[in-house]
C-alpha cells in the first residue's frame, strides 16, 4: 500500500533546501507559498529521496477568504505519497504557477480549475475553458457564484 | 523546461464560434415550445374522402417507426435494455436503432441535456426527414430533473425541439418506454395527410 509521508519531516527538508517556502505543515499536508510552488514541486520531483514522479490529483477549494490549490503526489518507485497545498488570497485575479512542465497530468486539471474556479495558472501552454463553452460568464464552482 | 504550444490544439476561433452558437441558442430558447394536442380529439372534422388513404398511410407509418438513438446519460441504458431481447422493441416494427438521423422517424432523447450538447440535438433533429416524432425520456430530459437550476443543464428539452410524448421516471422502466411508444403509435394513427 502507498504510505503517506510524515508531512512535518518533509516540510523540514523543504525548508532546508528552499528557506521561506513552507507556510504551514501538519499531519495531512504541507502548505507552501504560491510564489515558491514551482521550486518546491521541482525539488520534490527531482530529489531522489522523494522522487514524486506522478501527480494523481489536482483540485482547488474556495474558502471565501482564500483559494486553496491541492496537489496529490505519488512516487511510483518508493510507493509513498504527499499532499501539497498552496493558497491564493487575491480574489479578483488569483494566479498560481503551472506545473504542466513537471507533470503532464496537470494539463486538463489546471484547465478545469481555471474553468470552474477562475484560478489562472501562469505558464500553462493552453489555458482555456475545458468543460464550459467560450463566452460563459463567471466561474460556477466559486462560493459567490449566483 | 519549457513546453511549446501543442500542435493539435484547435484554434481559438473554433472555440469562440462554438461559444457564440451555444449562447445564441440559449438566448433563443428561454421558453418551452408549445405542443398543441387539441387536434387529437377532432375526429369528426376529418375529410371523408381521404380517410381511407390516411388509414393506410398511418397504419404503415405506425408499424415501421425507426428510432434514432440519442442516449445522453443513464436513461440510455434503459433504452438499450428496451431494444434487447427481454423487452424486444422489434415487436413494434422498430427493428433497428438507426445511428443516422436521415433514416430515422422517432428520436428518443434519453438523459441529461447540457447547453453544450443542445446545438447537436437541434442539428440532428433538423436533419431527420419528415414526418418525425420525439420522445423525451426521463426527468432530466423532460424538465432538467434534479439539475434544473444548474448553470449547464437545459431545463427541459422542449425548449430546444418540440416533444410528442413525455416518459417520466428516473430512469423509466423499459415498460414505461414501451408505453410511451404505444402512445406515439396512437398519435400517428390520428394524423392526417391534410395537415402535413
Residue of B nearest to A146 (CA): B151
Determine the pLDDT at residue A99: 92
pLDDT (tens digit per residue) in A58-96: 999 999 899 999 999 999 999 999 999 999 988 888 999
Is A46 in CB contact (< 8 Å) with chain B? no
Distance CA B7, CA B46 (A): 63
Mean pLDDT of B114-138: 91
Distance CA A109, CA A71 (A): 10
B35 in a domain, yes or no?
no
Is A76 in CB contact (< 8 Å) with chain B? no
Determine the pLDDT at residue B194: 66
Residues in chain B within 8 Å Cβ distance of A110: none
The larger pLDDT score, comparing residue B40 to residue B61, is at: B61
Residues in chain B within 8 Å Cβ distance of A146: 151
Q: What's B111's domain CATH number?
A: 3.40.50.12280
Mean pLDDT of B102-121: 91
pLDDT (tens digit per residue) in B167-194: 999 999 999 999 999 999 988 888 777 6
Kindly state the cell numbers that stand for A77: 518507485
B147 in a domain, yes or no?
yes
SS (H, E, C) chain A: CCEECCHHHHHHHHHHHCCCCEEEECCCCEEECCCCHHHHHHHHHHCCCCCCCEEEEEEEEECCCCEEEEEEEEECCCCEEEEEEEEECCCCCCEEECCCCCCCCHHHHHHHHHHHHCCEEECCCCCCCCCCCCCCCCCCCCCCCC
Residues of chain B with a CB closer than 8 angstroms to some CB in chain A: 1-6, 9, 12, 15-16, 18-20, 22-23, 115-116, 151-152
B3 in a domain, yes or no?
no
The pLDDT mean for chain A works out to 90
Structural domain tally of chain B? 1
Distance CA A141, CA B50 (A): 59
Other Cβ atoms closer than 10 A to A24:
12
Please, what is the angle between helix B12-28 and helix B118-127, to 10°? 80
Instruction: Give me the half-sphere count of Cα atoms (radius 13 Å) on the Cβ side of residue B79.
Output: 25
Question: For residue B1, is pLDDT > 90?
Answer: no
B14 in a domain, yes or no?
no
B125 in a domain, yes or no?
yes
CA-closest candidate to residue B86, choices B172, B167, B173, B169: B173
CA-closest candidate to residue A117, choices A56, A52, A67, A58: A67
B5 in a domain, yes or no?
no
Give residue A52's pLDDT band: very low, low, confident or very high (50, 70, 90). very high
Q: Tell me phi and psi for residue B127, to 5 degrees.
A: -80, -15
Q: Could you give the 3-state DSSP secondary structure of residue B184?
A: helix
Other Cβ atoms closer than 10 A to B165:
21
Residue of B nearest to A129 (CA): B15
Question: For residue B43, is pLDDT > 70?
Answer: no
pTM of full prediction above 0.95: no
CATH no. of A3-92: 3.30.460.80
pLDDT (tens digit per residue) in B131-163: 899 999 999 999 988 998 888 999 989 899 999
Are B183 and B157 in contact by the 8 Å Cβ rule? The answer is no
CA-closest candidate to residue B166, choices B144, B142, B191, B145: B142
User: Model ipTM?
Assistant: 0.76
Mean pLDDT of B43-56: 69
In the block, residue with C-alpha cell 436513461:
B75
Domain range holding B93? 45-189
Amino acid at each position: 500500500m502507498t504510505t503517506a509521508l510524515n508531512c512535518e519531516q518533509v516540510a523540514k527538508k523543504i525548508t532546508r533546501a528552499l528557506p521561506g517556502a513552507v507556510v504551514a505543515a501538519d499531519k495531512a499536508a504541507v502548505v507552501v507559498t504560491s510564489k515558491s510552488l514551482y521550486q518546491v514541486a521541482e525539488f520534490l520531483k527531482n530529489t531522489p529521496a522523494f522522487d514524486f514522479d506522478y501527480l494523481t490529483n489536482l483540485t482547488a477549494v474556495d474558502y471565501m477568504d482564500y483559494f486553496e490549490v491541492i496537489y496529490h503526489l505519488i512516487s511510483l518507485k518508493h510507493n509513498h505519497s504527499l499532499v501539497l497545498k498552496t493558497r491564493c488570497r487575491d480574489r479578483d485575479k488569483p494566479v498560481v504557477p503551472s506545473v504542466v512542465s513537471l507533470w503532464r497530468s496537470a494539463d486538463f486539471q489546471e484547465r478545469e480549475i481555471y474553468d470552474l474556479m477562475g484560478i489562472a495558472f501562469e505558464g500553462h501552454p493552453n489555458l482555456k475553458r475545458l468543460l464550459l463553452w467560450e463566452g460563459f460568464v463567471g466561474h460556477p464552482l466559486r462560493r459567490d457564484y449566483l | 523546461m519549457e513546453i511549446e504550444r501543442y500542435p493539435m490544439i484547435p484554434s481559438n476561433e473554433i472555440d469562440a464560434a462554438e461559444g457564440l452558437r451555444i449562447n445564441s441558442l440559449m438566448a433563443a430558447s428561454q421558453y418551452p415550445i408549445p405542443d398543441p394536442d387539441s387536434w387529437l380529439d377532432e375526429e369528426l372534422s376529418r375529410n371523408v374522402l381521404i380517410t381511407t388513404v390516411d388509414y393506410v398511410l398511418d397504419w404503415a407509418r405506425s408499424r415501421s417507426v425507426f428510432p434514432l438513438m440519442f442516449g445522453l446519460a443513464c436513461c440510455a441504458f434503459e433504452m438499450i435494455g428496451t431494444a434487447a431481447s427481454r423487452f424486444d422493441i422489434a415487436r413494434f416494427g422498430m427493428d433497428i436503432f438507426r445511428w443516422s438521423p436521415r433514416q430515422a422517424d422517432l428520436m428518443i432523447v434519453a438523459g441529461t441535456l447540457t447547453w453544450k450538447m443542445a446545438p447537436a440535438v437541434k442539428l440532428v433533429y433538423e436533419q431527420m426527414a419528415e414526418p418525425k416524432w420525439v420522445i423525451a425520456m426521463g426527468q432530466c430530459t423532460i424538465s432538467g430533473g434534479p439539475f434544473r437550476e444548474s448553470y449547464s443543464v437545459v431545463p427541459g428539452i422542449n425548449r430546444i425541439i418540440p416533444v410528442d410524448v413525455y416518459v417520466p421516471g428516473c430512469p423509466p422502466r423499459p415498460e414505461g418506454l414501451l408505453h410511451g411508444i404505444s402512445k406515439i403509435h396512437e398519435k400517428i394513427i390520428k394524423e392526417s395527410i391534410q395537415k402535413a
